[in-house]
Structure 1
């Protein structure tokens, strides 16, 4: 009943789900919203972070440039409207197995390292999301070290 009523309001507003590529309950939106939040948490969004979020989302979800832009725009809007991280982490925890949740943490570390600095707010956010996703401290640190070593190998090679 409630869903039917909500659909009626969306249709009247011209925002039918048929026209919308992404939805609030989409794990891609949840992932992107966490990454958008992470990218902006230190108060500075630079070109490297913008490039990295696009690269990470395109690779992980096999998106086109246009789909990636739409996803980031929609996720940014969802992040602005959200009062907490639980909205996003609950979707991911429900939809992903342990390996998938660890991959989200890896993606977050990739974004953290994109600008060459680890801000304490970024580090804290990765820790909080890990806790909400049920990712162990050991796996969170392992992903941090993995991403760092990948970057060092890329710099050497």
Structure 2
């Protein structure tokens, strides 16, 4: 019995050393933005254009690569069960400035259709909390995005 337990622990330890495939930041961020566009149950084309513009500029992708990234991100957003799926990866690889830009662009998507739904605001607030963006920065991003519309 003891040998069986040791074998199980050794197997688990070997599995833990195997590299885990991490989702690309581009896809995670695009999926988060797309999920926000869907949160009010009305996906507006202008919201998706804002998502594409941000992804194109922030990650320097274009053409077929951008189309594929957006399609993959849309699938990921649709199958997501929580924000944690996106925010955990963002926390691992992003600086505070990167996190601020993500929140700013979430606000840009929310403002794209001319109105911010309460579900959109809640979504952004929750995302900001999960990626440890201070409330003052959350408000600053909102005001900055609002001025740009």
Contact 2:128 2:138 in 1 (8 A): yes
Larger Cα Rg: Structure 1 or Structure 2?
Answer: 2
Q: Please give the TM-score of this superposition, normalised by the length of structure 1.
A: 0.79
Partner of 1:125: 123
Contact 1:25 1:91 in 2 (8 A): yes
For 1:144 and 1:117, the matched residues in 2 are separated by: 13
Partner of 2:72: 74
Q: CA deviation at 1:24?
A: 5.3
Gapped runs of 5+ residues in structure 1?
6-22, 152-157
Alignment coverage as a number of residue pairs: 136
Partner of 2:23: 25
Q: Following superposition of structure 1 onto structure 2, how do residues 2-41 of structure 1 map, counting pairs within 5 Å?
A: 2=15, 25-41=23-39
For 1:48 and 1:79, the matched residues in 2 are separated by: 18
For 2:137 and 2:126, the matched residues in 1 are separated by: 13
- After superposition, the Cα gap between the structure-2 partners of 1:24 and 1:69, relative to the gap in structure 1 and judged at 3 Å, is farther
For 2:118 and 2:63, the matched residues in 1 are separated by: 31
Gapped runs of 5+ residues in structure 2?
1-13
Q: CA deviation at 1:81?
A: 2.2
Give the 3-state SS of the residue equivalent to 2:148 in structure 1. helix
For 1:114 and 1:103, the matched residues in 2 are separated by: 16
Deviation above 3 Å: which 4+ runs of structure 1?
Answer: none
Partner of 1:135: 133
Pick the aligned partner of 1:106 from 101, 104, 107: 104
Q: Please give the TM-score of this superposition, normalised by the length of structure 2.
A: 0.83
For 1:116 and 1:65, the matched residues in 2 are separated by: 28
Residue by residue over 1:34-76, the C-alpha shift from the partner in whole angstroms, topping out at 9 and shown as x without a partner, is 1010001101112211211111111111111322211111111
